[in-house]
Amino acid sequence: MAVPKLSRNTQVTVLITCGILVLHFYNVLFFKPLRKEMRFLSQEKVRMTNESAAINADKDELAQTEEMYKTKFEEFSQLEQNALELERKLPSRKNMAEPLEQLTSALEDLGGDFIALEPVFKKAGEAEFFDSIEIKMKFYADYPMVIDYLKKLETQSIVFSIKRIEMVLDEEVSKTPLVTILFSTFISDRPAATQTEEEKPVILTPSVSPFKSESKPYDNTMPGDHRLTMVIWKGGKRTALIDGKLMAEGSVLENKKLDKIESDGVWFIEDGIRYYLSLDKGT
């Protein structure tokens, strides 16, 4: 069978047609899906970039919030310790004779002529934390002795405030004025302490520790560079300051659950294995 010979123009037309068909199928089968995939990847890149920026912003905000709460906790701890220091200088409800004894003994040391002492107990109001006691003291003394008396009271362990001072001279009765001073001080609910206990530093655990001492297998120490800097017992709830974060029993650190808080350390547990982190005594 004879094959017809195509003219040059026909050959060119056939080649162009074949090229167009090849380009069409390439565009349909490869280029368009590829372009669609590239557009999708570009959109995903933009979305992930935006999400990454949002995550970084949330991370920075969380770090700032954590730092703020850490600072607030340190400020609260300092305020609490200052309040405890102040409470140590208040007379105890269990030893009401202590402030009266200090007022009279300071006067006796100066040689004053004591007349009377009238204490009046006052319950705390709604906006007050402590009950108070007002003490009206009367004695005969001249002005320099009164100044020395007040200076001596400043060195006493109990904090007194002075609400009123009166000096009345009646030469028919005495050559020195009759001095009337109205003292006031708050009353603490803490138990009466001995002098030795008063000199002890303030701690955040109660005098009778609620923690039970147990034997500790120190071979299972908490792995990693973690620090326990403070153990707090307040309102029947135990908390611990670990790596600058306040944690209660049940909190999780590196997949390890805080199982128990004791006065000198804490226990973590993971997969039935217990780990012990001791209190950092250097802080």
Predicted pLDDT of residue 190: 60
Predicted pLDDT of residue 111: 81
- Distances from the Cα of 7 to the Cα of 10, 19, 177, 232, angstroms: 5, 18, 145, 102
Predicted pLDDT of residue 104: 80
Question: Over the stretch 216-245, which tens digit does the pLDDT of each residue have?
Answer: 544 578 888 898 887 777 556 788 888 878
Residue extents of the structural domains in the chain: 16-88, 93-195, 203-283
Question: Over the stretch 111-147, which tens digit does the pLDDT of each residue have?
Answer: 878 887 788 888 877 766 678 888 888 899 999 999 9
Give the whole-angstrom CA distance, residue 242 versus residue 266.
Answer: 10
CATH code of the domain occupying 203-283: 2.30.30.830
Question: Over the stretch 25-82, which tens digit does the pLDDT of each residue have?
Answer: 777 777 777 778 888 888 888 888 888 888 888 888 888 888 888 888 888 788 777 7
Does pTM top 0.85 for this prediction?
A: no
Percent of the chain with pLDDT over 70: 78
CATH code of the domain occupying 93-195: 3.30.70.60
Q: Produce one character per residue of 153-180: b if its CB has 16 or more CB atoms within 10 Å, e if not.
A: beeeebebeeeeeeeeeeeeeeebbbbb
